[in-house]
Structure formats: C-alpha cells, structure tokens
Homo-oligomer: A and B are copies of this chain.
Amino acid sequence: MEIALLGGTGDIGQGLALRCARDTDHSVVIGSRDADKAEQKANEYYSSLKETGVTPGIAGYSNETAADSAEVVVVSVPPEYASQTVETVAPVLGEDDVLVSPAVQMSRDASGFHYDPPETGSVAEAIDRAAPDDVPVVSAFQNLAAGALSGLENDLKADVVVTGDDSEAKQTVMALAEDIDGLRALDGGPLANTGVVESVTPLLINLAMNNDGMHDIGVRFE
C-alpha cells in the first residue's frame, strides 16, 4: 500500500511520514504544493531514517502526483487549506482510495487554546464535503503531538481515535495506526462524531501549557 502525506513537509506530516516509513510495510510519498520542496523534504526524511538503520521507500512530489499513486491520502495541511487541497487532488482520487483527516482548527486567546471548527462541524466533515462522493473520508491522528511523532527516539504510547462512515476505509486506517509502534486505534463511530475527537487537541496543548512535564503529551482511554 502507498501512503501519501499531502502537506507532508509540515510538522504533523513529517512525524507521520517518518513513523509510517519506519514502522510499517507501506511506502510513503510526501506531497506539497511545491514539488521541489517535497523532494527535498523526502530526502531529509530518508537521511533521518537511514540513521536509525532503516532504508525507507520515501519520495516527494506535487500533491496531485502524490495522491495519484497512493491508496491512503492523508490531508496533513493546515486546516484552512484542507478543503482546497482536496479539491486540487479530487480528479486523481477514486472509490478505492481513502482520504484521512488529521487536522484540527483552533483559536487562541489569553486563556489558552479553544476548539474552533469550521461550519461543517469538523475539519473531517469539511474534507468530506470537498471530496468526490465516492471517496471515503476517515479522521485519525489528530491527538498526536507532532514533536513526539517526529522525534523517532520517543517511544509512543497513545491512542488514535478513528471516525468514518465507510467501515472498510475505517478498518484500513485503524490497521495503519496499529502498525505504528506504540499506537492503539479506537473506533470513535461515524464521521459526524469527529468534533469531540478534534477538540481533544486544544485540551492537550492547554495541559502542556499549565502543567510541568507534560510537553508533547498524548491521550489514553482506559
């Protein structure tokens, strides 16, 4: 299976790219609006992974080219660009592909971070609206700290809540999450339940800001 990380030059895309390339049997492609930047980042990730003793399959392309070859397409762009990015790659997506939404829209004020979803209810539902009707959308990975993910020396121990309306697509993404060392996938129900998953992310940041020793935390349900 091939996994495309659109916006894979950003921090959460980088973390997911490194972990997928190191821990799973899938190949990874980095997408960016700027194909040269994607290629450069892919080379950097390749070098980082080589240092850990892994020889990964990892390459960089434009978002469209990355999405075209992949079965799992992770929209790891800033939330305000999510719908637009999906519209750009829509022509190369089909019913056998899965769009994955890991982004969270937040606001910040003097108190801390707040959940500030788009009108559709969540970034995942905004992506679902922008996607072709036959392409399933699954949300996952929102509650992982980018810093914890991208530092490959960190042993993860975190839950990944996965939501979606297409059960086969959801199973694909849950299996992918479980393939990454230290992650446990949990079923959060249909895509309409994504809001309460996304809103854990500002909570994690608030906890990191207000408690010693809680930098780059994740969440566990038990």
> For the complex, is A219 an interface residue (Cβ under 8 Å from B)?
yes
In the complex, what distance in Å separates the CA atom of A203 from the CA atom of B161? 9
A208: nearest chain-B partner, CB-CB: B221
Whole-angstrom CA separation of A219 from B113 in the bound complex? 19
Contact (Cβ within 8 A) B222 A111: no
Whether the pair B211, A200 counts as a contact (CB closer than 8 A) is no
Within 8 A of B (CB), among A164-222: 186-190, 192-193, 195-197, 199-200, 202-204, 206-207, 209-211, 214, 217-222
- The answer to whether A196 touches B189 (Cβ under 8 A) is no
Q: Which residues from B are CB-within-8-Å of A46? A: none
Residue of B nearest to A204 (CB): B221
A196-B111 in contact (CB<8A): no
Asked if B222 contacts A112 (CB within 8 A), the reply is no
What residues on B are CB-neighbors of A220 within 8 Å? 219-222
Known pairs A197-B203, A200-B196, A203-B196; A210 contacts B189 (CB<8 A): yes
A114 & B209 in contact (Cβ 8 Å cutoff): no
On chain B, the residues within 8 Å of A196 by CB distance are 113-115, 199-200, 202-203, 206
Q: How far is the CA of A204 from the CA of B222 in the complex (A)?
A: 10
B214→A221 contact, CB < 8 A: yes
**Given that A157-B222, A195-B115 are contacting pairs, would A189 and B217 also be in contact in the complex, using a CB cutoff of 8 Å?**
no
Can you list 30 A-B contacts (CB < 8 A)?
A109-B192, A111-B192, A112-B189, A113-B196, A114-B193, A114-B195, A115-B196, A115-B199, A161-B207, A186-B210, A186-B211, A187-B207, A187-B210, A188-B203, A188-B210, A189-B206, A189-B209, A189-B210, A193-B206, A195-B199, A196-B200, A196-B202, A197-B203, A199-B200, A200-B203, A214-B221, A219-B220, A219-B221, A220-B220, A220-B221
Residues of B within 8 A of A193 (CB): 111-114, 203, 206
Question: A188-B206, A200-B200 are known contacts; what are 20 more A-B pairs with Cβ within 8 Å?
Answer: A111-B190, A111-B193, A112-B189, A112-B190, A115-B195, A115-B196, A115-B199, A161-B203, A186-B207, A187-B210, A187-B211, A189-B206, A196-B202, A196-B203, A197-B203, A207-B221, A217-B222, A218-B222, A219-B219, A219-B220
